[in-house]
Every structure is written in C-alpha cells, then in structure tokens.
Amino acid sequence: MIRNEKTRMYFYVRLTRISVSDQLLPVLRAIFELQEDSNGGVLIDSGTHVTRLAIAVFELFHDSFVQKAENLSTPTTEVSSFLYTCYYLSGMDTVSVPTVSFHFAGDKIVNLLPLNYMLQYKTGLYCVGVRFRNIIKYI
C-alpha cells in the first residue's frame, strides 16, 4: 500500500498491468503510478461496485473485452449512462465471459471472479463494471 500525502484517507496500490483473457493490455506502467505531485495513482475504494480507469486504459480494456466476448450477445451501450457495455445473457445455458486480471508490483496477480466485474443491471442483463475517469483510478 502507498500513502498519498495530499489525500491520507485513501489507500493506493501498485497496479502495474491489466490483462483480459490472459492478454496484457499494451499500457505503459507509468499511467498507474502515483506522481510526485500526488496526482494519479490507483486507489482502493471498497464502497463502489465499479472500477474506474484512465480513459486510455478504459478504451483498451473495453475493446479487448468486447473482442474476447464474441460468444455473447451483441453488446449494447444504450442501457445506462453509467455502464457502457452490457450483454443480455438470459436464455443461455452456459455463459463464458472474458477473464480479467490485475497485476501488481512484486509479480502478484489477482484473477477476478466474473461477479467482481459483471454487474446485473436487471433480469438477464449484465454490464461490465468498468468505467473511465480522468485523474485517479479506482479498483
């Protein structure tokens, strides 16, 4: 854990990479780092259901997820102004979603369970719980 001297109420982590279905997103590690001026970084917010990423990382994540989820229904983006990519999964016997992993300093990897990033919006409709944010990233 890292402390931000400007905002002592949050705990920051050393996220280094993100992978979707075992494919690392082509992101420079610096985008996740807490800067000397106390801007940026990745913090843990245990009070939210949604992960927020820098817009450049979000776009790579979103594109990779949609590409790897080709076995699911056509993604819809017209459901919510808050959640961008949703899939109708009702009526499917077996559902297989792309895996998502967070890579941390020290070669630590956390493989997320689908319930950690696929949020049920309403009956049969599940949305990827990842959004973009310009400054601080939340996991």
Let me know if residue 6 belongs to a domain: no
| Residue at token pair 């949050």 | 10
Question: How many structural domains is the chain composed of?
Answer: 1
Let me know if residue 5 belongs to a domain: no
How far is residue 131's CA from residue 89's CA, in Å, rounded to a whole number? 21
User: 42: domain range?
Assistant: 11-138
Instruction: Report the CATH number at residue 127.
Output: 2.40.70.10
Give, for all 139 residues of the chain, the pLDDT tens digit.
Answer: 666 666 666 778 889 999 999 999 999 888 888 777 767 778 777 777 888 888 889 999 999 999 999 888 877 766 666 777 888 888 888 889 999 999 999 999 999 999 899 999 888 889 998 888 755 555 5
Question: Are 44 and 10 in contact, with CB atoms under 8 Å apart?
Answer: yes
Task: State pTM to two decimals.
Answer: 0.84
Question: Are 25 and 61 in contact, with CB atoms under 8 Å apart?
Answer: yes
Let me know if residue 79 belongs to a domain: yes
